Amino acid sequence: MKISVIIPSYNRAHTLPRALDSVLGQTRPADQIIVVDDASSDGTKALLLRYPMVETQFLAHNQGVSAARNAGLRQARHEWIALLDSDDEWLPEKLQLQVDAIAHNPEINIFHTNEIWIRNGIRVNAMNKHAKPDGQVYQASLALCCVSPSSILMHRRVLKQCGVFDESLPACEDYDLWLRLFHRYPVRLIDQALLIKYGGHVDQLSQQYWGMDRFRVKALTKMLDAQLLNAEDDRLSRAMLLKKCQVLIEGARKRENTQRELKYIAIIEQYCHA
């Protein structure tokens, strides 16, 4: 088996070397490493000259992380796809342990790992709601994104069947894709911390957008419109959609934003009161 690694990056010259070095330091080397630079203006292009073994793609204008990942997917040559965000870091045995897991679970197409969180330079413990799931994980994925893109290794067949990242979503694009994948495919967790996630910096997507649940609402309505869910998954998806819309309605009322309030009331009436 062969693995293509895709690293999207936008103005991350200060963290990209750490991410790249963690891939190059794997005990089981990647077979292809792709960095997609999303029109950075911070010297990333010059930085990448230090990594001649890395394939690079430079987007003409900034299009967002989904477009950058999708560009990398089009360039990827191999059947197994690993993702790594440019501000994260793999531990040295990440790929080897996932390859070992594939050998023992040939029927599984998606693997992920546990992780270490560093926020503002300090290690923090994940809350229970962030516990990593295993097996049939669609229902566990409804509340929030419970699988880190940087931990995942997946066979490209799942993307051929379920589609790639939604480029219309500026955030929660991973939540959206995981819903589409996880309602069809089981997931195997390697319950070891093989990824370090760094948080607290201002260029995190979660720091740039208000009301992240509005993007999750869009993902949930897409799933319901597709009419692919079994009865229980459909019921729980509508219940989660109702919960997230109620949060957004409450926020709109506090801000006296009637137009936004009416938008989410209409979504509830369409999807949750059938």
Structural domains for the chain: 3-208 (3.90.550.10), 213-271 (no CATH)
For the chain, report the end-to-end CA distance as a whole number of angstroms.
Answer: 47
pLDDT the model gives residue 204? 56
CA distances from 226 to 120, 164, 222 (A): 40, 15, 6
pLDDT the model gives residue 128? 72
pLDDT the model gives residue 120? 85
Q: Is 118 helix (H, G, I), strand (E, B) or coil?
A: strand
pLDDT the model gives residue 274? 56
pLDDT the model gives residue 18? 98
Q: Is 105 helix (H, G, I), strand (E, B) or coil?
A: coil
pLDDT the model gives residue 60? 92
User: What's the average pLDDT block by block, 10 residues per block, for the chain (274 residues)?
Assistant: 97 97 98 97 95 96 96 98 98 98 98 94 78 94 94 98 96 96 98 92 57 95 97 97 96 95 96 80
Cα 197 from Cα 115, distance rounded (Å):
7
pLDDT the model gives residue 190? 97
Pick the closest to residue 93 from 2, 7, 23, 187 (CA basis). 23
Q: Is 166 helix (H, G, I), strand (E, B) or coil?
A: coil
CB 238 within 8 A of CB 224: yes
Token pair 């992380």: residue: 65
pLDDT the model gives residue 142? 96
Cα 105 from Cα 92, distance rounded (Å):
22
CA dihedral 164, 89, 218, 203 (to 10 degrees): -120
CB 89 within 8 A of CB 196: yes
pLDDT the model gives residue 101? 98
CB 159 within 8 A of CB 81: yes
pTM: 0.93
Cα 188 from Cα 209, distance rounded (Å):
31
